[in-house]
Amino acid sequence: MGVLNDYFRAVNDEDAARVRSMAGPTAEPGFDAIDAKGVDHSVVLGQLVALARGVEWTPDLCDGHLVAAASDVENGPWVVRLGDDVRDTLADLAPESLPALAQRWAATEELLGTPADELRVLLEQLRALAARARDAGDALYEWCSL
Query: pLDDT tens track of the chain, all 146 residues?
Result: 478 999 999 999 999 988 866 677 888 778 999 999 999 999 999 999 999 999 999 999 998 999 988 766 677 789 999 999 999 999 999 999 999 999 999 999 999 999 999 999 999 999 999 999 999 999 999 999 88
The whole-angstrom separation of Cα 57 and Cα 73 is 27
Domain ranges in the chain are 4-145
> What is the model's pLDDT at position 1?
44
* 4-145 maps to CATH 3.30.1460: no
> Phi, psi at residue 23, to the nearest 5°?
-80, -25
